[in-house]
Structure 1
Amino acid sequence: MEATYLARIVDPLIAELMTEVPAVSLIGPRAAGKTTTALRHAASVVHLDRPGDATVFRIDPDAALRGLPEPVLLDEWQEAPEVLGAVKRNVDADPRPGRYILTGSVRAELDAHTWPGTGRVIHVRMTGLTARERFGDATEKPFIDRIVRPGSLDLRLPESCPDTRDYVDLALSGTFPEPALRLSARGRRRWFDSYVQQLLTRDVAAVEPRRDPERLRRFFEALALNTAGVVDSATLYRAAGINIKTANAYENLLSNVFVLDVVPAWFSNRLKRLAQGPKRYLIDAALLGAAVGADTETVLRDPDLLGRLIDTFVAEQLRAELAVSDHRPRMHHLRQEGGRREIDILIELAGHRVIGIEVKASTGPNRDSGRHLAWLRDELGDRFVHGLVLHTGRHIYELGDRITAAPICTLWA
């Protein structure tokens, strides 16, 4: 493990929390590396997906926990959900920091009428591997915090900046550690095909066994084709051949298993006619390739698909940093009714300040590319921190007051 482990963005946060709170739960999509990361912070581990261990913890979880070196990692805890009650009782009796780390699925949380960990177990959301974790410095300040830094805009370029094809290849390699780090392109395609198949037939069934896998697959494909888009819900459920009630249930399921991020629209009383519909993202751009059978050549020949893939890729890089930023950021999008003006990603910070981000699958955006950011700047005044046009070129340059064009790779440089 020592030779292959890549430091994760959340590692410092986990370490900090373990000095302050008694129990931490790592949540996120299956195969994102939660267990591998948790092992770095644990003194002992119980693998509850092993039948023998699970049986002991189902029978008498309090006794089974007693005497284990702490912090104790309870891996796949949902296989013996009784252990959570034991953690609650132990933490209530002895609230010393750094006692337990939990990893697993959300199934038990969703099945339970109450979540006994509230106020006792702190959730830390993990994503898959970002480009910064793979190619940069995971201990560096989050990109968002570098934009907010007073005095100067801290944008940098890596030694080698990708071109458009490189970005597509990187996006399709995915964020899940196994395919991203160890598999060939052919192997990755098979891995993601299998991941989608198991997601729709096994993982979702564990949460809601009554769902029809074939109809769910059609809905997932409709979501994939519309990732990074503001699309009417009716478009999605009609494309999947289901009704709105079923579509809403499917969307909630996919969100609960962390493969879909529903980004809310941003709202301000100062701006008129803002649309309220959400923007939906698959949490990994490679899932788009798997869902629609697209490889690099297919994406490069389809401008719409290219734009959606690159937007999804940028969103997954930023999403990973939300939990560790000092500015309590939340991700939104902005769109006026009728699409007159829209901004791909809007990061709202504490104090209602905002960073606007446009994502362009082009190498040389001009001043016109930042016109919606300029409009937002003029409307918000000092609340507008900065606007970025992230592109697939290789140069950083100004497009106006507090508006900068920068390569996407500045996210991890």
Structure 2
Amino acid sequence: MVVHGSYLPRLVDGRIAEMLSELPAVLLVGPRATGKTTTAARHARTVVRLDEPGEAVAFRADPDAALRQFPEPVLLDEWQVVPDVLGAIKRAVDVDPSPGRFLVAGSVRADLQAQSWPGTGRLVRLAMAGLAMREITGRIDGPTFFDRVVDGGLDSLRPPDDPPDLVGYIELALRSGFPEPALRLSPARREDWLDSYLDQLLTRDVELLGESRDPDRLRRFFEVLALNSAGIVTNKTVFEAARINAKTADAYEGLFRNLLVVDSLPSWWTNRLKRLVQVPKRYLTDPGLIGAALRVDVPAVLRDGDLLGRILDTFVVAQLRAEVPVSSSRPRLHHLRQEAGRHEVDILVELGGGRVIGLEVKADAAPGRDAGRHLAWLCDELDDRFLAGVVLHTGRRIYPLGANIVAAPIATLWS
């Protein structure tokens, strides 16, 4: 992507360079239009666009011979259009495992789970999310939010100079993390772009996976997922709301997961806690798609308290998701909920050694001590395994809520 004629650095840039300095092949995976090609191209001498028919012909005919013709590192973009190219990379790496030979980029993950996938042990996967606010504001240097808390504790958090208010956060969320609408388009054209993205997702992108589905039913199902983003709902609730059967719902959700626009936080489990609900918490990977799917703007979100909370939660998880692959502390994102909702934590970050960070997201400019009660419970239950708790809010200040628990503006994630 280009901003005022220059490249906007991404969080994964440093990690790509590090990986290519030691590994022969790196697989960059993320949703379509998140900037993978632009970023990966900066680390390559040759760029091959396999979604362009003219460039794909040779790789369909003889991928091994085609691969040998280009100066390395070679970027092979949209590998899923010519999946046989992965076999050619495997064979090339087996013969010569020198570092920095290939970059592979794609916007699906369907074949990554296949037992016969040739990339195992040859291509090392790196996830790339949409633009995070750290990237948009030019603050990619320094430790991630996770690493700051691990290394410096809650004292390492600093209040932002000029944080958004509630309306500002909703505007940022609906603007999306796709570079084109987030950086270059007016609000009206941004809506057009996101509507078009969703239309293509439901038609062209689904067909690229070799699927033929009813776009109207797919759209209805996606709308249900959008309404329930950041929610803990049963599969039955989802497919009944979409007016389809369980088998169809499973197939549809699999499609959207393979296209990397739907994800989930798994429920966290420990034998220290009882009656934990083992249901994943679904998310759209970009909050802007919620606005596109439901056709809502900022005033509409502000009038719907349930949707407001879901969009804020989805926005926060999008910021964190971008930092996970580049964090030294190797975090994993979960959620926690006991039966009947007696205790729940919006986002539970699991670190090495069984340590955890608990995060709550509140549409409140000045949450009180009660907003951290679930974090305080978790701290009591886990003792020294509980590293810190943060209630992320829409106000301006950082202040304590209890032992190892603070309230902090959402913008603290990128300040």
Query: TM-score w.r.t. structure 1 length?
Result: 0.97
Identity of aligned residues (%): 61
Q: What residue number does 2:282 align with? A: 280
Distance of aligned partners of 1:255 and 1:411 in 2 relative to their CA distance in 1, 3 Å threshold:
same
Which of 4, 19, 41 in structure 2 is aligned with 1:17? 19
Q: Which residue of 2 aligns with 1:83?
A: 85
- 1:402 maps to amino acid: N
Q: Against the structure 1 CA distance between its residues 61 and 312, is the aligned structure 2 distance closer, same or farther, given a 3 Å change threshold?
A: same
Deviation of the 1:31 alpha carbon: 0.4
| CA distance in 2 between partners of 1:306 and 1:130 (Å) | 20
CA displacement at 1:56 relative to structure 2? 1.4
CA change 1:107–1:348 in 2 (3 A) is closer
Distance 1:135 1:44 in 2: 30
**Of 184, 187, 190, the match for 2:186:** 184
1: CA distance, partners of 2:386 / 2:113: 42
Spell out structure 1 runs of 4+ moving beyond 4 A.
110-113
Q: Which runs of 5+ in 2 are unaligned?
A: none
Q: Would the aligned equivalents of 1:237 and 1:247 in 2 still touch at CA under 8 Å?
A: yes
Equivalent residue, structure 1, for 2:330: 328
Contact 1:386 1:403 in 2 (8 A): yes
Higher mean alpha-carbon deviation, 107-116 vs 20-29, is at 107-116
1:111 and 1:141 map into 2 onto residues whose CA distance is 31
Q: Letter of the aligned partner of 1:295 in structure 2?
A: D
Give the partner amino acid of 1:78.
Q
- Give the Å deviation of 1:107: 6.8
Shift, 1:216, TM fit: 1.5
Question: Taking structure 1 as reference, are residues 108 and 59 closer, same or farther at Cα in structure 2, changes over 3 Å only?
Answer: farther
Task: Please give the secondary structure, in 2, of the residue aligned with 1:153.
Answer: helix
User: Secondary structure of 1:69's match?
Assistant: coil
The alpha-carbon distance between structure 1 residues 57 and 151, as it changes in their structure 2 partners (threshold 3 A), is closer
Q: Structure 2 vs 1, CA of residues 234 and 148 (structure 1 numbering), >3 Å: closer, same or farther? A: same
- Matched with 1:338 is 340
Amino acid at match of 2:328: D
The residue type paired with residue 55 of structure 1 is V
Instruction: Output one character per residue of 1:199-233: Cα deviation in whole Å (capped at 9) or x when no partner.
Output: 11121232242332222211111110011111122
104-113 or 212-221: which moved more?
104-113
Which of 126, 130, 133 aligns to 2:132? It is 130
* Distance in 2 between residues matched to 1:291 and 1:350, nearest whole Å: 37
Indicate whether 1:26 and 2:28 are aligned: yes
SS at match of 1:228: coil
Structure-2 residue corresponding to 1:149: 151
How far residue 244 of structure 1 moved from its aligned partner, in angstroms, is 1.3
Report the counterpart of residue 169 of structure 1 in structure 2: 171
Give the Cα separation in 2 of the matches to 1:143 and 1:330. 13
CA shift digits 1:237-258 (9 cap, x unpaired):
0110111121122112111111
What per-residue deviation string (whole Å, max 9, x for no partner) do you get for residues 352-396 of structure 1?
110000000110000000000000000000000000000000000
Specify the code of the residue in structure 1 equivalent to 2:202: L
Tell me the C-alpha RMSD between the 2 structures: 1.6
- 1:368 and 2:370 matched: yes
Residue ranges of structure 1 left out of the alignment (5+ in a row):
none
**Counterpart residue number, 1:71:** 73
Pick from 375, 386, 410: which aligns with 2:412?
Answer: 410
Amino acid at match of 2:226: A
SS in 1 for 2:292: helix
Which residue pairs with 1:159 in the alignment? 161
Alpha carbons of structure 1 residues 41 and 215: separation in structure 2 relative to 1, 3 Å: same
Instruction: Report Cα offsets for 1:182-215 as digits up to 9, x if no partner.
Output: 1110111111111111111121232242332222
